[in-house]
Amino acid sequence: MDQLHLMKVFVAVGEEESFAAASRRIDLSPAAVTRAIAALEDELGVKLLARTTRNVRLTEAGQRYLDDTRNILASIAEANEAAAGVNAAPRGNLSVTASVLFGRTFIMPCIVRYLQDFPEVDVSAYFLDRVVNLVDEGMDVAVRIGHLPDSNLKALRVGQVRRLLVASPDYLARHGTPEHPADLLRHTVIASTGLSPRVDWKFGAVDDPTMVRMKPRLTVTSNDGAIAAAVSGLGVARLLSYQIGEELSAGRLKIILADYEESPWPVHILHRESKYGASKVRQFIDRLAEHLRTHPYLV
């Protein structure tokens, strides 16, 4: 059988973990799917799938082959697009992911202008406060804040943000301004996390940090909620500079303990590395990079 056909069938079975679901997905009979997998395993001389009466799962070799096969099929599709001239005019679906507040504030305006300029492109935007795996979840572009682990993804640095300790002028007038991180133990703390009832805040240089452990008075899973509480004068919050740029400019929040700040966190645009860059991805990254690099809250 044709190698490319076998690979497409295997990817469908591996992703669906079902011969029946794969047959429906690629419009082949279950018998044809079974023959294709058997032929592929015979050709490779290795078991790719472990079958039981109830389910299908990938073997260790099968998982590696699935990852490699996805990349191969993606490269073939991109090469075909390039040869067909699709790169001359962006079209198709573009998937973008970022954190909720960053996506709403910085990415969405860029998406709107992009869609207005390229009517043959549809965008799926996933704004989530978790790390989305570009390969496993089929994303084209992601924006990440923080230091990146080693990976095969291509990264383009477009700015940086600071972790700031802030409080409202009214709160500081009533309770005083902390002079040292240890002073925070005598203040009301607002934590924008739902992961732990306690908060460990690190200050200063990486090689000589000061650590303060506190029990927050308010713990909230929304950054918007933490900002609102701090602006209202409840207490001290730790937030990223881009999240509170407007509040700082308007004087609704003030930075405290600036001398104990950590080093800034980089902001990167990530995308999957490929030999052929689809026009829809290239065009969007170029526009987004220009937008973010010139934004006053990211320098």
Q: Over the stretch 43-85, which tens digit does the pLDDT of each residue have? A: 989 999 988 767 888 999 989 999 889 888 877 877 776 666 5
In this prediction, residue 273 carries a pLDDT of 63
CA–CA distance, 184 with 257 (Å, rounded to integer):
10
Per-residue DSSP letters for 24-75? Answer: HHHT--HHHHHHHHHHHHHHHTS--EEE-SS-EEE-HHHHHHHHHHHHHHHH
Assess whether pLDDT exceeds 80 at residue 151.
no
Put simply, whether the predicted model's pTM sits higher than 0.85 gets the answer no
What are the beta bridge partners of residue 49? 58
Q: Decide: residue 218, CB within 10 A, 0-12 exposed, 13-18 middle, 19+ buried.
A: middle
The winner for highest mean pLDDT among 2-16, 89-103, 220-234 is 220-234
Q: Decide: residue 276, CB within 10 A, 0-12 exposed, 13-18 middle, 19+ buried.
A: middle
Instruction: Sketch out the chain's domains with CATH numbers.
Output: 3-84 (1.10.10.10), 90-160+265-298 (3.40.190.10), 163-260 (3.40.190.10)
Assess whether pLDDT exceeds 80 at residue 198.
no
Q: Decide: residue 62, CB within 10 A, 0-12 exposed, 13-18 middle, 19+ buried.
A: buried
Angle at 216 between CA 194 and CA 193, to 5 degrees: 20
Task: For 105-143, write each residue's pLDDT tens digit.
Answer: 999 999 999 999 999 899 999 998 888 777 777 788 999
Compute the average pLDDT of residues 156-166: 93
- Specify the pairing of strand 254-256 against strand 49-51: unpaired
| Mean pLDDT for all residues in the chain | 86
In this prediction, residue 276 carries a pLDDT of 46
Assess whether pLDDT exceeds 80 at residue 177.
yes
In this prediction, residue 70 carries a pLDDT of 87
Phi, psi (rounded to 5 degrees) for 57: -135, 155
